[in-house]
Amino acid sequence: MPIEHTPNYSVSRRRFLDLLLGGTGLAALIGLFYPIFRYLTPPEQEEAVVSSVNLGPAKDFPLNSGKIFRFGNKPGIIIRGSDGKFRAYNATCTHLDCIVQYDAKVEGVWCACHNGRYDINGRNISGPPPRPLTPYAVKIQPGAEEILIASQDGAQG
């Protein structure tokens, strides 16, 4: 009987198929490991939780002035009183969530929305605000004299 079933695949075809298979397998592996490699590369912001923020050198803040800064997802306000001391608060007004500002004339915090006022210690003194502003801890880095803001309980914002 003649040979009916000679191998359909010649040696070269078989090698070609193996090569192609190997190549594609390698491509799949690269496609798999690329995201893994990117994942392992440390992201720009290295930690999940923002518990402090650096506002730069203390000398950039003039006496009797205030500035809004971003703390996590919330606005903060840093105030340098005429006594030179730094104080920082969550800048969200406790009345209706407007953002407060520093009023240098009366040396206090003021909310333009409904004329609410807080003193320099964040206490609500007139107008609608029902509660004092939430304070943040201010630390001045020794040496560099840079301002660090941290929330009192260590959590974000």
Partner 1 sequence: MFWIREAQVNNIYFKTTIISLLIIVSQAIAVDNCIECHNQIHEQIISDCKEDAHSRARVFCAGCHGGNSALADEEAMNPKYGFVGAPKPKDIPRFCARCHSDAGYMRNFNPALPVDQLEKYWTSRHGELFKKGDYKVAVCNSCHKAHGVFPSGDTRSSAHPKKVPSTCAKCHSDPALMQTYGIPTHQYTQYIDSSNVHGYALFVKNDITAPVCNDCHGNHGAAPPGVSQVGQVCSHCHMLNAKLFRASPHKDGFDALGTMECAFCHQASPDVNAPLARIHTIVKPMAKLAGTVQPAVCVQCHSQGDAGWQMAGKVSAGSDSLAGKFAAAEALIKRAEKRGLEVSDARWQLNGDIHRAMLELRTAIHSFDLEAWQQHFDYADSLVNAVNAQGLHATQELSSRYKYFLIMTLIIALLIVLLILKIHQVENDRKAALTNKQGGIRR
Partner 2 sequence: MNNKMWNWFNERYKIDSLREFAQKKSVPLHSATIWYYFGGITLFLFGVQVLTGIFLLLYYRPGVDTAFESVKFIITKVKFGWLIRSVHSWSANLMVASAIIHMFSVFFHRSYRKPRELSWVTGVIMLCLLLTFGFSGYLLPWNELAFFATKVGTDSARAVPFIGDMALRLMRGGADVTGATLARFFGLHISILPIVFAVVLGVHLFFVQLQGMSKPLGHSRDDGKKRSMPFVPDFFLRDLIVWMVVFNIVLMLAVFFPWELGVKADPFSPAPAGIKPEWYFLFVFQSLKFLPAHIGPFEGEMVGIMALGLVGLAIILLPWLDRAASRERRSRWLDAIGVFVLLYFAVFTILGYVLD
Binding interface with partner 2 (CB under 8 A):
35-36, 38-41, 43-45, 47-49, 154-156
Query: What CA–CA distance (Å, rounded) separates 156 from 72?
Result: 6
Nearer to partner 2 (CB atom), residue 1 or residue 40: 40
Nearer to partner 2, 1 or 48 (CB): 48
Check binding of 99 to partner 1 (CB under 8 A).
yes
For 23, phi then psi, to 5°, come to -60, -50
Long-range CB pairs of 119-126 (<8 Å, 24+ gap) are 120/79, 120/81, 120/87, 121/87, 122/87, 122/89, 124/94
Q: Within positions 11 to 50, which residues make up the interface with partner 1, using CB under 8 A?
A: 14, 17-18, 20-21, 24-25, 27-28, 31, 35
Rule CB under 8 A: which of 118-137 touch partner 1?
Answer: 127-130
Burial bucket for residue 104 (CB in 10 Å: 0-12, 13-18, 19+): middle
Tokens in use for 55?
């506002």
Q: Which residues bind partner 1 (CB under 8 A)?
A: 1, 3-9, 14, 17-18, 20-21, 24-25, 27-28, 31, 35, 70, 73, 75, 95, 98-99, 112-115, 127-130
